[in-house]
Structure 1
């Protein structure tokens, strides 16, 4: 998909209701093979996989209309540490402020290679960031199975 089309689709998605965005985040988690967290307050985790090797893979979706900020980075770091995640996937609606990345990757005990910061555009247009995440989580390719018509 062309990036400009993906961008316009992403804008439409982030402008939907909170309930729809929660359902979409859970759908992403389920399709990716994660065990989806509950709707609403989820304790900072939208999905988790514990593969045979025992490593915890963590998924969080924040489909905001705004770029995620330093405060979101603090929360993500705390959740990664709390859940002892070895691989983390964060899905944002439109992106991340530079301060988000500076703060997140400035924390101790963070392995930047094990954290995938994706946007809806990355998923829809299959960008380089998406390709890197697929190397860690091959099931990410299954995202094409989403029935977009279910989200109104």
Structure 2
């Protein structure tokens, strides 16, 4: 089973929000490499929910993919922050997936702690300059992070 890490700013959408909703659409990804990772996701894949651009950036819990990627409707909505005027019903370059809640961690695994873990040294998240909002996580990285919680 593939594993992923997906970032969201908690004031926009948090693990707490996903816990309350149960399921939600993950949309607004506007980077082609991150979009391509979304397109590789399959139903049942799990992801670490990462809170970014906040007081304590880090992994806050786990979610799962509940549907394969489909054209992102936010790209077509002029009222959405993720509107793309170049997108159309017939040619929408952006994708979204449906996600479900799995688990909220008792505490956020903060980025400095993740960076200090030798087993995560090759993980893109801890590499200088890595800003992708969606990225794959290896099985060994997944296991190392689970052991930290």
| Structure with higher strand content | 2
TM norm structure 1:
0.27
Q: Highest CA radius of gyration, 1 or 2?
A: 2
Structure number with the bigger relative contact order (C-alpha 8 A, sep ≥ 6) is 2
